[in-house]
Amino acid sequence: MNHQLKELQSKYQAILKSGNIAMIVVANTKGEITEWNSSAEFTFGYTAPEVLGQPLTKLLDSNEENRSIKKLYQSVRTINKNDAGEIVELNGLTKEGKRFPLELEIRKYKSGSETYYSAIMVDISRRKSLEKDLAKKSRELDLLLYRCAHDLKAPFSSAEGLINLLKEEPISSSALSLINMLETSLEKGKQLLDDLALVSIISENNRAISYIDFNKIMLDVLGSLREYDDFELVKFNLDIKTDRAFYSNPQLLTSLLKNLLQYAINYSHFDSDEHVSVINLKIRTTKTKAKIQVDYQAVTLENSETHKIFDLNQFVNDYSMSCAGLGIYVLKNIVDILQGRIKVRRNDVSTTKVKIKLPNALITTMG
C-alpha cells in the first residue's frame, strides 16, 4: 500500500514539475503557496524559497482596485460551494512588477485530512495582443467600408438627377418604362449602400440605452418603408402591447424592425387577384425581455434552408437571395449585439414566422 502511495506521489510530482505551458500553483486553505511548477517559476520570476509559504495573492496585481484578488476569492467561494471551478481572467504580477493578463482555474482536492487548492494559470498576453490587433484592423475595415458606402452615394444621386431630367424630355412610353425600371434599380442600390454603412458602424451604437416606445418607433419605421415600390401592396396588422417598460438601444432597435419588415415584404407572396399581402407584427414586453414576432405568406425558402438567410456567404453566392439585400444579415447582427435570439420557421401552408427575443437592457445592466 505504501509502495502504491509513493508511486502516486511520484506521478503527481512529475506532472506538477514538468509543466512548461500552464503555471500550476498549489495553496492550502490559508491561501499560502505550498508548491508550484517550473512554468510558474519562469513566468513570475521568483525562486521556490521566495514564494513558498507566501500568500497566493502575491502573484496577482493589487493595483486595480483589487479586482484580480476579488475574482480569486470569488473563484474559491464558487468551488467551495459547487465543487466546480470556473475560468476567470486576472492580471498577474511578476517579481519585477510587470503586469500581464492570465486565465486562472481553481481546483480543490484533499490529501489526507488537508484540503488544497491548485491554481492552474495560463499567460494570455499573446492572445490579448492579437485580439487588440484584430479589433484595430476590424475598426479600420469598418471605417473603409463606411467611407466607400458614403462616397458611392454621390454618383447614385447624380444618376437620379439625370433620370429626373430625362423624364422632362419628350420620350416614348417604352423609354419611360425603362427609365422607371432604372430608377427602381438605383433606389435598391442606395438601400444596399445604406445597409453597408449600417454594417460598418453597427457595433459602435450599442452603448446608449433608453426607454423604448415601440409605437413611436413603428411610426418611424413604416414612414421610412413607404418609399419602397411594394409598400402599397402590403397590409400591416400591428399588435403592440407593452405593459412593462423595456430598455434598449433605440437606433439599433429601429434598424432591427425596419430590416425585419423589409425582409418580410421582400419574401411575401402577393396574390395575383387581390394584389395584397398581409404582414402581422406582434410585440410583447415582460419584466426581463421583449418578444417580437412577424408572420406572413412566403414565396421562397424551404424550412430546412431558413438558416441560410443569416449567412453572409449565402447572400454573396446565391443571387436568388439578393432581393433581401444585406438587411437580414444586418438584422441578425443587431440581434446578436443586443444579446437576443432569432428564429425563422415555415409551416405547411407557407406561412413564415420570424420570432425575436431581446433582453431588457436595464435588467441586464443591473444584473
From 3.60.15.10, 3.40.630.10, 3.30.565.10, 3.40.50.920, which CATH number describes the 207-367 domain?
3.30.565.10
Instruction: Answer yes or no: pTM beyond 0.75.
Output: no
Residue 218 has what pLDDT?
Answer: 93
> Contact at 8 Å (CB) between 118 and 85?
no
Give the whole-angstrom CA distance, residue 327 versus residue 256.
9
Contacts of 249 (CB under 8 A, 6+ apart): 205, 206, 207, 208, 209, 210, 338, 361
Give the whole-angstrom CA distance, residue 102 versus residue 114.
28
CATH no., domain 126-205: 1.10.287
Burial (CB < 10 A; 0-12, 13-18, 19+), residue 326, is: buried
> Contact at 8 Å (CB) between 203 and 145?
no
Higher local confidence (pLDDT), 332 or 307: 332
Name the residue among 211, 204, 203, 269 with its Cα closest to residue 235: 269
For residue 21, what is the DSSP state? Answer: S
Give the whole-angstrom CA distance, residue 185 versus residue 148.
19
Domain spans of the chain?
A: 2-123, 126-205, 207-367
Q: Which residue reads 479586482 in cell numbers? A: 67
Give the mean pLDDT of the chain.
77
Instruction: List alpha helices for 111-124, DSSP H.
Output: none
Cα dist from 276 to 235, 259, 265, 272, 281, whole Å: 7, 20, 11, 8, 16
Q: Is pLDDT of 311 > 60?
A: no
Domains 126-205 and 207-367 share a fold: no
Strand partners, 218: none
Give the whole-angstrom CA distance, residue 326 versus residue 193.
9
Residue 347 has what pLDDT?
Answer: 67
Where does the pLDDT of residue 322 fall: very low under 50, low under 70, confident under 90, or very high at 90 and above?
Answer: very low
Name the grid cell of 90: 486576472
Phi/psi at 358 (5° precision): -125, 135
Q: Is pLDDT of 323 > 50?
A: no
Residues 270-276 have a mean pLDDT of 58
Instruction: Tell which phi-psi region holds residue 83, choosing left (phi > 0), alpha (psi between -120 and 50) or beta.
Output: left
Q: So what's the architecture of 2-123 in CATH? A: 2-Layer Sandwich (3.30)
Residue 245 has what pLDDT?
Answer: 92
